[in-house]
Amino acid sequence: MTDMTAVVETEGLTKFYGKRRGLEDLTLAIQPGEVFGYLGPNGAGKTTTIRLLLDVIRPTSGRMSVLGADPRDPKVRARIGYLPGELELEGKEKARDYLTFLADVRGGVSRGRIDELAERLEADLSVAMGKLSKGNKQKVGLIQAFMHDPELLILDEPTSGLDPLVQQEFLAMVREVRTTGRTVLMSSHVLAEVEHVSDRVGIVRAGRLVAVEDVAALRERAVRKVEFHFDAPVPREAFEGLPGLRDLVVEGASVRCTIDGRPDPLIKAAAKFTTVHMVSAEPDLEEIFLTYYSDEERHHAHAHA
Amino acid sequence: MPTLTLKTLKEYRRAIIGWTVGMCAFLGMYISIYASMKDSPDILSRSALAKYPGALRDLMGGMLDIGTGVGYLQAIAYQMLGPLLLVMCAAILGNRAIAAPEQSGTLELTLTLPIDRKQLVLQRWVGLFLGLLTIAVITLLVILAAQSGAGMGVPVGHVLAAHTGLFLVALFFGTVALAVGAAVGRRQTALTVVGVWAVAGYVVETLGRNADWISWARWLSPFHYFLDGRPLYAGWPVGDYLVLAGATAVLLLTAVLAFDRRDVGV
Ligand SMILES: Nc1ncnc2c1ncn2[C@@H]1O[C@H](COP(=O)(O)OP(=O)(O)OP(=O)(O)O)[C@@H](O)[C@H]1O
Ligand SMILES: [Mg+2]
């Protein structure tokens, strides 16, 4: 790979646990300022990838660089914020004391910064960590990952255990990180959890990266169900034959249809009439993504046959 | 002090306090028994000999002079129970340096801090060292005060020498636990290694004194380098202590190198 600017770069990265495959031949580059969603079912290899990038485990073969250096270099790790997939916090130590310890080792974080994050996520830091609920442990994990404003955030299933409101707050925090030009790699089981903040998503399955897609491009390809209600009946001809339009139903003053890709032609056609009410269902990216990569896999299977 | 050492000491705090209080109570109680019985040393030695027949007496170091101050102090503090207690404590603390947090999963985040892996092991070990040193110093002070109060008449220098040996043996076994944990990450393995080595080593050293067929193995016993020179009677066995300290250093180096090479938490 010749791209020297990538924040995370791997080439043929492979990890076997004895005979068990964890990850095989991962070649990936994540660019500065990008939010990368790393998706896959249970046991796909997400945590394996992330632990390799943080030098918790060592690759069987292949190479990687993180922020331009080998992750074995401890100085690099000061510039990373990491949330483990199976975060363990235990004992009588108070969450605040633990956060202070982590901050000290990373070169210091103002007390105000920790308080600010705790307030945003509604985390109580005065409780012994062993007594925190799963979601509250996850909040402590998020605070420590974000608190030193790292250049790169590596988050393994960050939303697990969080209630919907806190999830929204977390996504807002990720957006802010992107706004400041920093980079995020986050894993999840479902696209819906990450699609609103991710620039690109990668799918890993059975240890192999099977697809990497641009979220904006996916969205352009997405299928959307749309409904218009006008103040007077409309002619069917006004909508018929529009590019990407399918399943057109015109009943008096209402129009229902499905549109592939950009809704622009439909909007322009509808603009000739007076719209009273409009419904547009959220495009199901997951669905097209899944078809996309299962096709891809079938392709692979054929190629190897 | 390195941040991680400070953190380690905080984690150890409760255990350090508990073991210190327990050992001081134990030693103080036995030394006060001596104070009340020292005017009739015959009764003391007769009751002791009746309580520990034959081989048990060998395990307790013979106990021929249990009626004297130095013999009594040796029997309660430096022969079997003292080392046994402190070695247990050391093994527990040593296990909590790496193996225990690795198995519970809390080590993962520590590992991703900007601390070199070699430094991580070293700083944890310094925490273990300081923790054991704290217990050793406080128990030493209690022994010195109690033995002079009870009129045992053991020279301060000799108590200091024996106590240093006790500390070195405990530090050795604590380092064994830490090193096994650093190499394999399993607390059960580490505890087993310490348990077997300590018990076998102690038996070999004490019974082996009078049994030729096991005495060849005495050099493998860490207790040999503590008990054989009889520091409470004869003062500093400098060479033996250097062997203990050297072996501890080798173990620590092994721990550092082993931990630096492997996957953590798998
Ligand atoms: N310590 C280990 N020893 C042996 N095999 C392992 C170990 N850790 C992971 N694996 C195997 O490696 C593969 C990938 O696991 P990994 O934990 O990376 O998956 P994941 O994508 O994070 O899954 P999940 O969504 O369940 O967290 C799985 O088949 C798993 O069984
Ligand atoms: Mg995982």
Please tell me if residue B262 touches chain A, with a CB cutoff of 8 Å. Answer: yes
Locate A184 and state its tokens.
Answer: 């995020």
- The answer to whether B4 faces chain A, any CB pair under 8 Å, is yes
Return the residue matching tokens 């636990």: B177
User: Which residues have C-beta within 8 Å of that of residue A10, sequence separation ≥ 6?
Assistant: A26, A27, A28, A29, A49, A52, A53, A62, A63, A64
At A104, the amino acid letter reads: D
pLDDT above 90 for B36: no
Mutation target to probe the A interface, by most A beta carbons within 10 A, among B10, B109, B121 is B109
Does B105 lie at the interface with A, CB-CB under 8 angstroms? Answer: yes
Q: Is the model more confident about A304 or about B34?
A: B34
pLDDT at res. A1? 46
- The residues placing their C-beta within 5 Å of ligand 2, an ion, are A 47, 85
Residue in A136, A8, A20 with CA at minimum distance from that of residue A79: A8
| Contact assessment for residue B112 and residue B216, using Cβ atoms and an 8 Å cutoff | no
Nearest Cα residue to A82 out of A41, A112, A52, A58 = A52
Give the confidence band of A287 by pLDDT, cuts at 50, 70, 90: low
B13 shares contact with chain A (CB less than 8 Å): no
The rounded distance, in Å, linking the Cα atoms of A201 and A187 is 9
Q: Which residue has the higher pLDDT, B209 or A273?
A: A273
d(CA B7, CA A275): 66
pLDDT at A262 over 60: yes
> How far is C-alpha A23 from the geometric centre of its chain's CA atoms?
19
pLDDT, residue B216, reads 81
- Chain B residues within 8 A of A105 when measuring between CB atoms: 3-4, 113-115
Quote the pLDDT of residue A20: 95
Cα–Cα distance, B83 to A51 (Å, whole number): 41
CB A210 within 8 A of CB A296: yes
Q: Is the pLDDT of residue B42 over 50?
A: yes
For ligand 1, the distance from its centroid to the CA atom of residue A143, given in whole angstroms, is 25
Of B113, B115, B263, the CB nearest to A57: B263
Question: For residue B7, is pLDDT > 90?
Answer: yes
Sheet of A35-39, strand order: A80-83, A152-155, A183-188, A35-39, A200-205, A208-214
Q: How confident is the model at residue A305 (pLDDT cuts 50, 70, 90)?
A: very low
Using DSSP's 3-state secondary structure scheme, residue A103 falls into helix
The domain limits of chain B are 3-33+74-261
Beta strands in A31-161 (DSSP E): 35-39, 61-66, 80-83, 152-155
Residues 6+ apart with CB under 8 A from A132: A89, A95, A140
Per-residue three-class SS string for B185-228: CCHHHHHHHHHHHHHHHHHHHHHCCCCHHHHHHHHHCCCHHHHC
Nearest by CB to residue A88, choosing from B7, B105, B114, is: B105
> pLDDT tens, A111-157?
899 999 999 999 999 999 999 999 999 999 999 999 999 999 999 99
Q: What is the pLDDT of residue A250?
A: 94
What is the spatial distance between Cα A74 and Cα B189, in angstroms, rounded to a whole number? 29
Most confidently modeled of A41-45, A292-296, B119-123, B213-217?
Answer: B119-123
CB contact under 8 A, A102 and B3: no
Mean pLDDT of A16-20: 95
Mean of pLDDT values over B18-23: 96
ipTM above 0.90, yes or no: no
Query: B176-191: string of b/e by CB count within 10 Å (b at 16+)?
Result: bbbbbbbbbbbbebbb
Return the biggest CA–CA distance within chain B. 63
- Residues forming a β-bridge with A183: A152
For residue B43, name the pLDDT band (cuts at 50, 70, 90): confident
Q: Where are the domains of chain A?
A: 8-218, 223-280
Does residue A269 belong to the interface with chain B, where contact is any CB pair within 8 Å?
no
pLDDT of residue B266 exceeding 80, the answer is yes
Contacts with B112 from chain A: Cβ below 8 Å: 54-56, 77, 80, 82
Tell me the C-alpha distance between B128 and B113, whole Å: 20
User: How far is A273 from chain B, CA to nearest CA, in Å?
Assistant: 60
| B176, containing H or E segment | helix B156-184
**With 90 as the cut, is the pLDDT of residue B64 above it?**
no
Contact A105/B at CB under 8 A: yes
Mention every residue, 6+ apart, whose C-beta is less than 8 A from residue A188.
A37, A38, A39, A157, A158, A159, A194
Nearest CB neighbour to A78, from listed B114, B261, B263: B114
Give the pLDDT of residue B44: 72
Q: What pLDDT is attached to residue A5?
A: 83
Query: What is the average pLDDT score of chain A?
Result: 90
When pLDDT is cut at 50, 70 and 90, the band that residue A283 belongs to is low
Share of chain B above pLDDT 70, in %: 100
pLDDT at A289: 66
Higher pLDDT, A184 or B217: A184
Asked if B262 and A77 come within 8 Å (Cβ–Cβ), the reply is: no
CA distance A123 to A131: 13
- pLDDT of residue B149 exceeding 60, the answer is yes
User: Does this model's pTM top 0.90?
Assistant: no
Is the pLDDT reported for residue B158 higher than 70? Answer: yes
Confidence category of residue A223, pLDDT binned at 50, 70, 90:
confident
CATH number of the domain at A8-218, please? 3.40.50.300
What is the whole-number distance in angstroms between the Cα of residue B56 and the centre of ligand 2? 55
A224 pLDDT band, cuts 50/70/90, is: confident
SS3 content of chain A, % helix, strand, coil (to 5): 35, 30, 35
* Per-residue pLDDT, B217: 84
- Degrees (nearest 5) of the Cα angle B240, B244, B248? 165
A126 neighbors A94 (Cβ within 8 angstroms): yes
Over A198-251, what HEC string results? CCEEEEEECCEEEEEEEHHHHHHHCEEEEEEEECCCCCHHHCCCCCCEEEEEEE
Q: Report, as an integer, the average pLDDT of B12-21.
A: 96
The residue assigned the tokens 């249970």 is A42
Q: CA B50, CA B71: separation in Å to the nearest integer?
A: 16
Q: What's the average model confidence in pLDDT over A275-288?
A: 78
